[in-house]
Amino acid sequence: MTIDVATAAYDVVKRELDDEVDPRYVSRPEPIAFPGDDGESYGFFYAPTNPEFTAPEEELAPLVVLVHGGPTAHDQPALDLQLQFLTSRGLAVVDVNYGGSTGYGRAYRDRLRGRWGEVDVQDAAAAARFLADGGRVDAERVLITGGSAGGYTTLLALGVSDVFAAGISEFGVADLVSFHAETHKFESRYDEYLVGPWPEERDLYVERSPVTHADKISRPLLLLQGLDDKVVPPSQAEAIVAALERNDVPYAYVAFEGEGHGFRGAYAMRRALETFLSFMGQLFGFEPADELEPVQIENLETAPH
């Protein structure tokens, strides 16, 4: 848009979307504060919103716990069409700005210093418990998800927490040791702030790696991965898949040719969302209204019912 600085009048030059978003389908963010790992933590809750459907009075919505990347980033309550895709289909979402996220002051940001893999996991679980205890979501149908660093939190949470019934990791870090060795120069000291000095704290890197706890994962897991990812290579997801297969844990692994760290192509973006919904529907007992190609879940017969 162009803005007249004298009058503040503006003209739209081009819209990101050709079609207007119908506001009746848009879930408005509700800021929440909840007891976290080290004091109060924060996030945004999005209730299911669809004018064409009302859930049965006695049924609580499944909850998607969304964990941002970074890991010291910050999710803001801006319009996110992928999030709205979920809420318009009957799912509740909580976008967690766990301890260590920016935007809440230095002390809050420093909660993650040396504690990546602890504070983020505990705050994600605390957000889910807070909403379930308040009677707003179904405590038995809680899924955690995130990409990159958020995928790391997802993978680790499924190995160390009993709050989540399932998880979806998008190009998540599984092995901190190899990640430290292979990461680009710009972030080469970042994980020393998040975990500890290298190589003095090598054992801590091993302990905080999801692959170390992969044999403890018993809940269904979907992994989405770009085969050209140079930041988190496919070998990290494949190490988790090997453990899931070894232990007969329900899982699906969907890899995209030509995609790197984050999905950019229209096919991958759409397929990832549809796979997400199909995976949740099969596990949580609902039939998506959309015409979707169902994702095949290995070992599905062993999933808790």
Catalytic residues: 148, 229, 261
Describe the chain by its helix, strand, coil percentages, rounded to 5. 35, 20, 45
**Alpha carbon 170 to chain centroid, angstroms:** 8
DSSP calls for 225-282: EETT-SSS-HHHHHHHHHHHHHTT--EEEEEETT-BSB--SHHHHHHHHHHHHHHHHH
Give the sign of the dihedral formed by CA 95, CA 30, CA 162, CA 221. negative
Query: Is the Cβ–Cβ distance between 127 and 153 less than 8 Å?
Result: no
- Of 134, 122, 135, which is closest to residue 163 (Cα–Cα)? 122
Question: How far is Cα 77 from Cα 241, in angstroms, rounded to an integer?
Answer: 33
